[in-house]
Structure 1
Amino acid sequence: MTPTTATAAYHPAPTTFGAVAKHGRAWLPLIAVTALAGSGVALALPSVLGHSVDAIIAGGDYGKWFTIAVVLVAVGIVCSLIDAFAGTACVAGTTAWLRHRLVSQVLHGGPEGSREFDSGDLVSRVSGNVSDAAQAGPAAVTTVAAMAPPIGSLVLLAFIDPWLAVAFFGGILGVIGVLFVFARRTAEISLAYQETQGRISALLTESVAGLRTIASAGTIAREERRILGFLPELHKHGLETWKILARSGAQAAIVGPLVLVAVLAVGGLQLVDGRITPGELFAAAQYAVLGAGLGSLTGVIGEIARARAGIQRAAEVFAINPVAHGTLPLPIGPGRLTFDGVTVFGADSALLQDVHLELPGGATIAVVGPSGSGKSVLAGLAARLRDPHFGQVLLDGVPLQALSRQALRTAVGCAFERPTLVGTTIGDAISHDAVGPVRTLAAARATHAHDFVSRLPDGYFTPLPKAPMSGGERQRLGLARAWPASRLLVLDDATSSLDTATEMQISKTLTEDRHRRTRLIVTHRTATAARADLVVWLDGGRVRAAGPHQELWQDPAYREVFG
């Protein structure tokens, strides 16, 4: 394997249900206190009302108990309001925290890290699934607090009369069984539902990116069927969720009254025998209703199930290995690029195999070969957009993996066949604000992007969405963005959409580069290869030959590469 130096990589903390739940920090204790206080109010109220009943029957002073009941109701309302606010704030903060971590993880993972995920699926995980995952803390605390009423009811019923507790406990076992089955099935369905949502998002994102192709091919109806083809599956999962909820609710609705009937039956006998008062029977009935209300936990258990599913999908993203960077600076040198026994594997076979190349610094090197020969893979290795499985790539004698991030990205610039322009304006797409307008203008002039940017109404301040651009113009902006690199320019078919005249101008600029940077150019054009100092000919993932274009041109197989 490729040796690795000391790294300064981004290492996220493990993402588990407990870790997400704990992030609620100060909000969780507040939620717990208000939830427990609310449960305490719910448990105290039946007893207070029971005493009121006894006072009324005995003709005593019931005003005191009525006042206490009013105070308890007021406290319960305040607790509910605080709980709602704290729960919302906790979920919002945790959602923001998780989204920040997920976005950082994707960016630190680089192109290779997120290759196994579709863009739409990633968006689905970062947006919807994270909101579900953030419910972990409040849902867990609420679940624990919700256990207080049934447990408290059991204790208080035993205090009133042990036989009441026995009757209550026998019925509550049925409710617990219902909740156990509900929790297990809901967790499975929630994950399946979120995964199906992710597939739909992935297909929709793919179609939005290719709208021009879809419209020109007349395949809109087929795309609709392809994207919406997962709706029946989504409907099935949603329907299954509601079925489970309805079934559990119905079962709890049956068990709950049975618990109440059992407690009332036993309580009635105890009342007849004079062992309890009418007020205590009233309180016992309230405790039976309160305790059997354990079935209302289905909503909270559903939140926990969705949170677990969201956390599981987030954890899959956090499993991406971040790109590790070293700490070394780049020494002074001409930009010599070395591929030392480099091998890269794809899903089924080797994309590059045992590549040994010593490319001179300051030279223009063209990389040619048939489709699938490994040209883009070689370019990606040179720019360190991916790492080899075996061997190493060195720039002026230093392995790319040993360079610090700043040293690497300052030295190496990349431009692609279909560049993605990032930023608010045309100027942003060329360079970030820290670079400054002078360097932005210099890069645009060098790559002939200034020619069309200057014709736009707002020039470099034109918003990207409002800037009409051809494929060639986008490529020129991509070249301008890569231009400030100090040591190595990697151009992966980055001039393929340019017209012949512009391509010749840019090729001349590259070959006469006054900074004498090394230029590695993946190309399909004969003229570009002819102007290069050296040509690397790839075939089937191996270097078939390397040398001047004029010498290689003598080989008929080489000429076939250019059609």
Structure 2
Amino acid sequence: MITFKEVTKHGRGWLPLIGLNALIGSGVTLALPTVLGRSVDSIVAGDGYVRWLIVAASLIGLGIAASIVDAFAGAACVAETTAWLRNRLVRHVVHGGPDGSRDFETGDLVTRVSANATDAAQAGPAAVTAIAATAPPLGSLVLLAVIDPWLAAAFFGGVLLVILVLWTFAKRTAGVSLAYQETQGRIAALLSESLTGIRTIQSAGTTDLEERRVLGLLPELHRHGVVTWRILARSGAQAAVVGPLVLVAVLAVGGLQLVAGNVTAGELFAASQYAVLGAGLGNLTGVLGELARAKAGVRRSAEVIAIEPVAHGTLSLPRGSGQLTFDGVSVVANGNVLLDNVNLDLPGGVTVAVVGPSGAGKSVLAAVAARLRDPSTGQVSLDGVPLQAVSRHVLRHAVGCAFERPQLIGRTIGEAIDPHAVSPVRTLAAARATHAHDFVGRLPDGYFTSLRKAPMSGGERQRLGLARAWPARRLLVLDDATSSLDTATERQITRTLTEDRRHRTRLIVTHRPATAARADLVLWLDHGRVRALAPHADLWQNASYRAVFA
């Protein structure tokens, strides 16, 4: 979990520097009216005013230097805190796996990691600035009391009104800031979804409809923005009215005291400056607005930090051929039973085709087998060791996964196959085995071709996904990973899989009867349950089985 206090503390050495400069600035602000007042009295007296003017100039120079250092320290603090928070958010998303981020839309997650993290990082500087901003009014009250108690009384009455305005502003703006950020996240989620399916949208001729769907939340975003600005404007107007009243009250009382001979002209000048400082408390609306946005950003970041990372054990795998065991495995999500008490003992080194109608639980079973999600009950074991007890490093080297729509990661084609760049030889071997080399070799820069610029069909992307999974030592899980291949290439790759010389276990989710026919065993699923586990030839006699491929 992450809190506002934790984000604030992460300012490390910058916050004390910001606080020190804020104190210096406050000290200069409080000292300057008195020094200028003394200068006025010295000018009236015609003696010693040069010394006071030099002191005033020195204070102004010190204040400018403090402001410059404060601006630099504030920017550096926000930058470092943003980097720390983004790193932590990304780690939680990545280590939480598919299950951890299942409740978040992709675009919303991106907004939380980017924009909301920056808002949250303002917490430290904004909090220090808000605290430091109270020093000038409090100091002004004390110094006015030293000059004349009646001046302090007039000042105190006006400042109470300013504080009331600020309290109302802070209370109103907190909820609006959170609502604004949440709406931004929803718009980003819709846009991300549309960009993912842009080809489908264009081919279906629904561009205008999709545009209205994505931009449909803009009025709501506009409404939250308008409410925010109205609150700010109202508070600013109230502060603008109260501020001059404080100044008028202090000047009126000071004028009477001057006539009575209780204060000097210089003291009246100093009192007017302190009254201006008290009225300036209304400028805190901007700082309080930053605090509200920071709190909202921290809250949205905390929801991501709450993602539980996938826990891994410390065990290694014994020698084995990849025997895969499902022991009472059930998966339930949102009240829906996706897998129902699956009990299987798949021999190591065999090819198992997983078939079934849509919604039968094929992809869920594949994800559980690769430990991309954990079962609700039961456990899956590889060569006798529960997957949850295996160390992350060992598990990811033992199990390889390829998907229907692989997300390719890296700068080049070669990095997409082997992100760790372990060996060019291994990259080439994996590409040849999955027939990816056939098209990569035709690219201008071969394996050094920019992944972003490489023209690829769906089938070619699938071949790269297969090549990335190929080095797995014990188990290959292919979730419809050859669906976009042409028949000839699919036949070649299936032959390579079924004749795997490394004798790994291969779990292949497929909709093609030819792939099932080449497998050693077929796992037939229906409504999350195992209907049969047998060779394709034996199952083909069943009309219901044949209907799966219809």
- State if a TM-score over 0.5 links the two structures: yes
Partner residue, 1:518:
505
Aligned to 1:308: 295
Runs of 4+ in 1 over 3 A off after TM superposition: none
Aligned match of 2:260: 273
Q: How far apart, CA to CA, are the structure 2 residues paired with 1:503 and 1:217?
A: 29
Q: Could you tell me which residue of structure 2 aligns to residue 561 of structure 1? A: 548
Q: Which residue number corresponds to residue 3 of structure 1?
A: none
The aligned amino acid for 1:302 is G
* 1:263-313 deviation digits (Å, cap 9, x = unpaired): 122222222222211211111111111112110101111111111111111
Q: Cα offset for 1:520?
A: 0.5
| Residue 433 of structure 2 corresponds to residue 446 of structure 1 | yes
Residue 466 of structure 1 and its aligned partner are, at CA, apart by 2.0
**Structure 2 residue 165 is matched with structure 1 residue 178:** yes
Distance in 1 between residues matched to 2:453 and 2:278, nearest whole Å:
62
CA distance in 2, matches of 1:266, 1:456: 85
Instruction: Provide, for residues 422-471 of structure 1, a one-character-per-residue CA deviation record: whole Å limited to 9, x for no partner.
Output: 11111111112442110111111111111111111111111112221111
Match of 1:194 in 2: 181
Cα separation, 2, equivalents of 1:433 and 1:180:
54
**1:16-415 alignment runs, 5 A limit:** 16-415=3-402
**Matches of 2:489 and 2:59 in 1, distance apart?**
81
Q: Does 1:436 align with 2:433?
A: no
Match of 2:484, SS?
Answer: coil
Structure 2, gaps ≥5 residues long: none
Give the Å deviation of 1:392. 0.4
2: CA distance, partners of 1:432 / 1:562: 36
Root-mean-square deviation (CA, aligned residues, Å) is 1.0
By how many angstroms is 1:253 displaced? Answer: 0.8
For residue 392 of structure 1, give the secondary structure of its aligned residue in structure 2: strand
Post-superposition shift, 1:58?
A: 2.4
CA distance in 1, matches of 2:199, 2:156: 66
Q: Which residue pairs with 1:8 in the alignment?
A: none
Q: Which amino acid aligns with 1:534?
A: L
C-alpha distance in 2 between matches for 1:65 and 1:467: 72
Deviation at 1:146, TM superposition (A): 0.6
**Cα distance in structure 1, aligned partners of 2:85 and 2:40:** 52
Residue type of the alignment partner of 1:391: G
Q: Give 1:118 deviation, angstroms.
A: 1.1
TM-score (norm 2): 0.99
> What residue is the counterpart of 1:9 in the other structure?
none
Whole-Å Cα distance in 1 between the matches of residues 446 and 495 of structure 2? 26
Secondary structure of 1:494's aligned partner: coil
Q: Report the counterpart of residue 517 of structure 2 in structure 1.
A: 530
Partner SS for 2:228: helix
User: Which amino acid is 2:236 matched to?
Assistant: G
Cα offset, 1:216, TM superposition:
1.0
Structure 2 distance, partners of 1:81, 1:168, is 31
Q: Distance in 2 between matches of 1:446 and 1:178?
A: 72
The secondary structure found in structure 1 opposite 2:21 is: helix
Matching residue's letter, 2:525: L
Q: Displacement of 1:32 after TM fit?
A: 0.6
1:548 maps to: 535
In structure 2, the residue matched to 1:466 is 453
* 1:66, distance to aligned residue in structure 2 (A): 1.1
Deviation per residue, 1:399-427 (Å, 9 max, x gap): 10100011100100001111111111111
Letter aligned with residue 285 of structure 1: S
Deviations 1:137-161 (A, max 9, x none): 1111111111100000010011111
Within 2, Cα distance between the matches of 1:338 and 1:307? 49
Alpha-carbon separation, structure 1, partners of 2:17 and 2:405:
52
The amino acid of 1:333's aligned partner reads: G
> For 2:316, what is the secondary structure of its paired residue?
coil
Aligned to 1:465, the other structure's residue is in SS state coil
1:174, CA displacement in angstroms?
0.7
Q: Which amino acid aligns with 1:165?
A: A
Of all paired residues, the percent bearing the same amino acid is: 74
Offset at 1:510?
0.9
Return the letter of the residue paired with 2:25.
Answer: G
| 1:4 corresponds to | none
Q: Which amino acid aligns with 1:436?
A: S
* SS of match in other structure, 2:452: helix
CA distance in structure 2 between the aligned counterparts of 1:160 and 1:258, rounded to whole angstroms = 20
- Give, in whole Å, the separation in 2 of the partners of 1:328 and 1:72: 66
Q: Deviations over 1:47-78 (max 9, x none)?
A: 11111122222233211111111111111111
Deviation at 1:320, TM superposition (A): 0.5
Seen in structure 2, the aligned counterparts of structure 1 residues 433 and 392 have a Cα distance that, compared at 3 Å, is closer
User: For the residues of structure 1 that align with 2:422 and 2:56, how far apart are their CA atoms?
Assistant: 69
Distance in 1 between residues matched to 2:491 and 2:280, nearest whole Å? 79
Is the CA contact (8 Å cut-off) linking 2:415 and 2:421 kept in structure 1? no
Aligned to 2:474: 487
| CA deviation profile, 1:28-55 (whole Å, cap 9, x unmatched) | 1111111110111010011111111222
Letter of the aligned partner of 1:222 in structure 2?
A: L
Aligned positions, number:
550
| 3-state SS of paired residue (1:355) | strand
Q: What CA distance in whole angstroms lies between the structure 1 residues aligned with 2:455 and 2:39?
A: 78
Partners of 1:331 and 1:106 lie apart in 2 by: 31
Counterpart-to-counterpart distance in 1, 2:277 and 2:45: 27
Equivalence for 1:11:
none
| 8 A contact 2:97–2:309 mirrored in 1 | yes
Aligned equivalents of 2:216, 2:44: Cα separation in 1: 67
CA contact (8 A) 2:409 2:419 kept: no
Shift of 1:528: 1.1
Q: Letter of the 1:87 partner, please give it.
A: G
In the other structure, the counterpart of 2:443 is: 456
Determine the C-alpha separation between the residues in 2 that align with 1:76 and 1:425.
52
CA distance in 1, matches of 2:438, 2:265: 94
Mapped to 2, the partners of 1:116 and 1:408 lie a distance apart of 25
Deviations 1:309-368 (A, max 9, x none): 111111111010101110000110111101100111122311111111111111111111
